[in-house]
Structure 1
Amino acid sequence: MRWKVAILTASDKGSRGEREDISAQVIRELIEEEMDGHIVQYKIVPDEQQMIKKTLIEMVDQYEADLILTTGGTGFAHRDVTPEATLEVVEKQVPGFAEVMRSASMLKTRRAMLSRAVSGIRGKTLIINLPGSPKGVHENLQAIIDQLPHALSILTGVEGEHKS
Structure 2
Amino acid sequence: MSQPRIGILTISDRASQGLYEDKGGPAVEASLRAILATPFQVLRRCVPDEAPVIEAVLAGLCDHDGCCLVVTTGGTGPALRDVTPEATEAVCDRLLPGFGELMRMESLKQVPTAILSRQTAGLRGRSLIVNLPGKPSAIDLCLKAVFPAIPYCLDLIGAARLDTDPAICRAFRPVGP
Give me the CA root mean square deviation: 1.9
Map 1:34-45 onto structure 2 (within 5 A): 34-35=35-36, 36=38, 38-45=40-47
The answer for the alignment partner of 1:28 in structure 2 is 29
- Asked if structure 1 preserves the Cα contact closer than 8 Å seen for 2:68 and 2:159, the reply is no
Identity of aligned residues (%): 37
SS of aligned partner of 2:131: strand
List gaps (5 residues or longer) in structure 1. none
**Is 1:75 the equivalent of 2:77?**
yes
Given the alignment, which residue of 133, 136, 141 partners 2:143? 141
- Asked if structure 1 preserves the Cα contact closer than 8 Å seen for 2:5 and 2:69, the reply is yes
- Asked if structure 2 preserves the Cα contact closer than 8 Å seen for 1:68 and 1:128, the reply is yes
SS of aligned partner of 1:156: coil
The answer for the alignment partner of 2:11 in structure 1 is 10
List gaps (5 residues or longer) in structure 2. 162-172
Higher helix share: 1
User: Hey, which bits of structure 1, 4+ residues long, moved more than 4 A?
Assistant: none
The answer for the alignment partner of 1:114 in structure 2 is 116
* Count of aligned positions: 163
Are residues 37 and 100 of structure 1, via their aligned partners in 2, closer, same or farther at CA, if it must alter by over 3 Å?
farther
The answer for the alignment partner of 2:155 in structure 1 is 153
Given the alignment, which residue of 111, 129, 132 partners 1:130? 132
The letter of the residue matching 2:12 is S
Give the distance between the partners of 1:148 and 1:88, measured in 2 at CA.
21
> In terms of mean alpha carbon deviation, does 17-26 or 5-14 score higher?
17-26
Give the distance between the partners of 1:105 and 1:40, measured in 2 at CA.
26
The letter of the residue matching 1:34 is I
For residues 114-135 of structure 1, the C-alpha deviation after alignment (integer angstroms, 9 at most, x for no partner) is: 0011110000100010001111
For residues 72-118 of structure 1, the C-alpha deviation after alignment (integer angstroms, 9 at most, x for no partner) is: 00001111000000000001010111111110011111111100111
